[in-house]
Amino acid sequence: MPNIKSSKKSVKQDSKTTAANNVYTTRVKNSIKKVEKAIVNKDKDLANTELKNVISNIDKACSKGLIKKNTCDRQKARLNKKVKEMNN
């Protein structure tokens, strides 16, 4: 445990921001899993609606700086490609 007052405060702040960040990263991971599950089950409607949610969640995480921009773009492109292949 830190002894300095400012260090104690930064530990509290770190725990709060970590908890907030975990919410966004968890949303991204869970929504990606939902889309992939819909693709495996060949449910086109569910896959398309979940894809919109995934893109929204990924963009929010990217804007907060939790995921790098190229990673966001790559994940969105791969999921979009899978859904389009399924629709054909």
Per-residue pLDDT at 15 exceeds 90: yes
Quickly state the pLDDT bin for 87 (edges 50, 70, 90).
confident
- In the chain, what are the domain boundaries? 5-87
Domain covering 5-87 assigned CATH 1.20.58.110 in the classification: yes
Q: Which of 59, 64, 54, 67 is nearest to 27 (CA)?
A: 54
Q: Which of 55, 54, 66, 58 is nearest to 17 (CA)?
A: 66
CA separation, residue 47 to residues 2, 18, 40, 64, 84 (Å):
48, 30, 10, 26, 10
Quickly state the pLDDT bin for 6 (edges 50, 70, 90).
very high
